[in-house]
Amino acid sequence: MKNTKRSSSHSQHHIMAERKRREKLTQQFLALSAILPGLKKTDKASVLGDAIKYVKQLQERQRFLEGQIPNPEMRSIPGSPNPKDDNSSGGRNEMRQSTSSSTLPEIQVRVLATQVLIRIHCHKMKGILIKVFTELEKLQLSVVSANVLTFAETALDLSLTAEMEQGWNLTVDDIIRTLRTTMDLYLR
Whether residue 49 sits in one domain with residue 94: no
CATH classification at residue 165: 3.30.70.260
| CA dist., res. 180 & res. 65, Å (int) | 23
User: 184 pairs with which residues across the strands?
Assistant: none
Count of domains for the chain: 2
Q: What does the pLDDT profile of the chain (188 residues) look like in tens digits?
A: 556 666 788 889 999 999 999 999 988 888 888 888 888 888 889 989 988 888 888 888 777 776 655 444 433 322 233 333 333 334 455 555 544 444 678 899 998 888 899 998 888 888 888 888 999 999 999 999 888 888 777 888 889 999 988 888 888 888 999 998 888 877 66
Q: Give the pLDDT confidence of 172-188 residue by residue, as tens digits.
A: 888 999 998 888 877 66
Domain boundary among 65, 98, 118: 65
Give the β-pairing of 155-164 and 93-97: unpaired
Whether residue 85 sits in one domain with residue 38: no
Whether residue 136 sits in one domain with residue 56: no
| CA dist., res. 137 & res. 152, Å (int) | 29
- In degrees and rounded to multiples of 5, residue 52 shows phi and psi of -60, -45
